[in-house]
Structure 1
Amino acid sequence: MGHYPSLTKVATSLGIDARELASKKETKGGIEGFSRTNLERYALSLAESERWGVFMDVLALIIYGIVLFPNVENFIDFAAIDVFLAFKHEKMSPRGSQIEIKNKSEWAYSIANLSEKTISWYSREQNIDEVICQCGDFRNVPLMGTKGCVNYNPTLALRQLSYSIRSPPVEDSITPFMVYDMTKKLDFLNKIRQSWDKVIKKGKELGKRNCNVELSYQQWLNERVQHVKLPF
C-alpha cells in the first residue's frame, strides 16, 4: 500500500514534462493526484496539437480515475494512476500497434457518420446463455469496489449480448448512482451486499439473438439523445 509510481514514471508514460506535471499535482483529503480539470485541459491541448497517441493515454487515465476507480470526486489519485499504468504496460505489444492518423476534419466526419451499424454488437465466441438483470430490490446491478460503488444498467447493454430490445427501459432501471465515501453509507452498502443473495438472471425469455430494436425503443433513444444533448 502506498507504493505508487513516481512523477517521473507518470510523466514518461504520458509524454508530459516531469516539472510541468509536478506543478499540477494536488492533495485532497490527504490523497495525492491530479484534478480532472487540469487533465482535461491538457488533453484539449494535445488534441489541438494533434498528438493523438498521448491524447488517448490522457483520456484513458481520466476515465480510469473518474469512472472505474473513483475515490475523490473529479480527482484522479495515484492509486488509479498505478492501475492505469499497469494495464497500459500489460496491453503493450512488442510489435507495437498502428493507429490511423486523421486530421480534425477527417475525425469530425468519421464521428458524425457513426451509426448503430458501425458497431459489432456481439461476439458469438462469448457464448453467454444467461444475463444478470437485477439484484434484490435494485432494478439494475449494483457493483461495490474498494473505493466506492456504482451501478450497471444491463437493460441498455442487451444488444451487446445479441438480445433484441423490444421496449423502452423503465426509468428506475437506468437511474445511475455513485458512492464515494463508503463510511457514510453503511446501510446502503449492506443493502447492496444482501442484494447479491437474490440475483435474477434471464436467458431464453429475452428472445432470439438478433440485435434488433423495436420502433418504440428507437423513438425513446432519439428523445434521450436530445435530452442529454449529444451532438449527433
Structure 2
Amino acid sequence: MLFPNVNDFVDCAAMNAFVGYKSRYENPVTAILTEVYGTLNQCHELKRRKMLCCLPVLYVWFISRVSKGILNATCPVEELLQCKPEIKGANEWAQLCASLSEEKIRWCASWQQGSHIIYHCGNYPNVPLMGIRCCINYNPLLAQRQFGYPMRGSPTSASLATLRIYYEEGTFAEVLHQIRDAWGNIVRAEGDPRSWTVDERIPYNQWLAARVKAVKLPFKLISPDSNVEKRLLNAEVQQAKLLRAELERTKQENVTLTNDLQNLQQNYANLKHDKMESEWVHEELIRKQKQDLTSVNAELRWKSMECGITEISERVRRDLCGEFKRDKQEALEKL
C-alpha cells in the first residue's frame, strides 16, 4: 500500500515510514490512511485514473462492511481470512455496489466496538493526516456510524473544511509543523463540546442524496424503489424519536441523580451538625465534671484542715486540763 506499482523499487518516502516505526515507534497507520485518501482524491480529480497502491486496504474495508462478519474476529484482516469471500468480476462488483442499501451494510463491526473516535485535532475542524506523498484530512462525522454513534443530521460546511497538499506542488514544511502541533491536542467524540459541526434541521440522508448528485457517482440502482427515500426518512424519524426518548430518559435519570445528590448533601450536613452538637455537649459535660471535681477537692481540703484544727484544739484542751489538775493537786498537798 505504500509502494508504487514498480517491480523491485522502493522509494525513500516509503522507507522513511518504516524507519520512523522502527526507530521512533511512529504508527504507520496514519501514513497508510493518508495514502488511501490521497489516492482516492487524486483519482476523483483526474477522472478515471486507476488505483493501484491502495486496493488491498480498500478491499479489506469493503468486505468487512458487506459480509456477515465473524463474531470472534479481532481485526478486519482476520475476519477476511475466515469469511473467505467469493472472487467476483467487474460486472459482479458493479451489481453488488449498485444493489447495496442502508440495511445491507454492516455499519459497526464487532472488532470496532469500544473504539474511541478522534473528532478533531487542535484548531483543525477535523483530523489532518500526514503521509509519504501528501497531507490530507478526513472527516470523522462521516464515519461515526461505523463506531456506533448515530447520525444526528447533516455535517456543516465548516466541519468539512478541506486540507489537501501534495508535496510535489511546492513548500509544505510550515503545514507539517502545524499538523504535528495539532496532533498534540486531540479531542475525542465523548469530549467534543462543539455544536456547530452538525445541522440537525437537515436529515443526513437528504444531505447524502444531494452529495451523490453533486459527486455524480457512475452507477444507478438496478432495481430502483420509489419508496426508498420515504422509507429512509421514516427510519430516520424513528431513530430521532428513539434518540429523543433516550435523551428524555437520560434527563430524568440526571434529575433523579441530582435530587439524590442533594439529599445526600443535606444528610451529610445534618450529620455534621449533629456531630458538632454532640461534641459540644460532650465538651460541656467534661468541663462541668472538671468544675465539680475541683469544687469537691477544695471542700475536701477545707474539711481536712478543719479536722486538723479540731484535733489540735482537743489536744490543747486536754493538756490544759491535765496541767490544771496537777496544779490543783500540788496546792492541796501543800495545804
| 1:158 has 2:144 as partner | yes
Provide closer, same or farther for how the CA distance between residues 4 and 190 of structure 1 changes in structure 2, counting only shifts above 3 A: closer
Aligned residue for 1:185? 172
Q: TM-score, normalised by structure 2?
A: 0.38
Pairwise CA RMSD: 4.5
Other-structure match for 1:194 = 181
Contact 2:38 2:134 in 1 (8 A): no
What is the Cα deviation at residue 135 of structure 1? 0.5
Kindly state the Cα deviation for residue 221 of structure 1 after the two structures are TM-superposed. 0.9
Find the residue that maps to 2:149 and give its secondary structure.
coil
Instruction: Quote how far apart the aligned CAs of 1:189 are.
Output: 1.4
Q: Distance in 2 between matches of 1:130 and 1:193?
A: 20
Distance in 1, matches of 2:179 and 2:191, equals 27
Larger radius of gyration: 2
> Is the contact between residue 134 and residue 201 of structure 1 (CA under 8 Å) also seen in structure 2?
yes
Percent identity, aligned pairs only, is 30
Is the 8 Å Cα contact of residues 165 and 214 (structure 1) preserved in structure 2? no
Map of 1:117 onto structure 2: 103
> Any idea what SS the aligned residue of 2:150 has?
coil
Q: Give 1:138 shift.
A: 0.6
Decide whether aligned partners of structure 1 residues 222 and 122 sit closer, same or farther in structure 2, where only a CA change above 3 A counts. same
- Segments of 5+ residues of structure 1 without an aligned counterpart are 11-30, 32-62, 207-212
Deviates more, 1:222-231 or 1:132-141: 222-231
One-letter amino acid matched to 1:158: Q
* Contact residue 134 and residue 165 of structure 2 kept, 8 A: yes
Mark the CA change 1:184 to 1:119 in structure 2 (over 3 Å): closer, same or farther. Answer: same
Give the match's secondary structure for 2:108: coil
Q: How far apart, in 2, do the equivalents of 1:149 and 1:138 lie? A: 13
Residue 220 (structure 1) shift:
0.9
CA distance in 1, matches of 2:103, 2:124: 32
User: What's the secondary structure of 2:203's corresponding residue?
Assistant: helix
| Deviations 1:70-127 (CA, angstroms, capped at 9, x unpaired) | 9xx9799xxx86x989xx9xx7x999x56344683x5544332211112111123433
Q: Which amino acid aligns with 1:218?
A: N
Name the aligned partner's letter for residue 193 of structure 1: R
TM-score (norm 1): 0.52
Q: How many residues align?
A: 160
After superposition, where does 1:202-213 map in structure 2 within 5 Å? 202-203=189-190
- Distance in 2 between the 1:65 and 1:215 partners? 27
Q: Aligned residue for 2:154?
A: 168
Name the aligned partner's letter for residue 194 of structure 1: D
Q: CA deviation at 1:190?
A: 1.4
- Alignment partner, residue 251 of structure 2: none
Match among 203, 220, 245 for residue 216 of structure 1? 203
Alignment of 1:56-205 (within 5 A): 67=39, 99-101=86-88, 104=91, 107-128=93-114, 130-181=116-167, 184-203=171-190
Given that residues 129 and 203 in structure 1 are in contact (C-alpha distance below 8 angstroms), is that contact kept between their aligned partners in structure 2? no
CA gap of 1:116–1:188, structure 2 versus 1, over 3 A, is: same
Residue 226 of structure 1: aligned partner:
213
- Which residue of structure 1 lines up, in the alignment, with residue 277 of structure 2? none
Distance 1:130 1:143 in 2: 17
Structure 1 pair 84–125 and aligned structure 2 pair: CA distance change class (3 A): closer
Distance 2:206 2:90 in 1: 34
- The CA deviation at 1:224 is 1.0
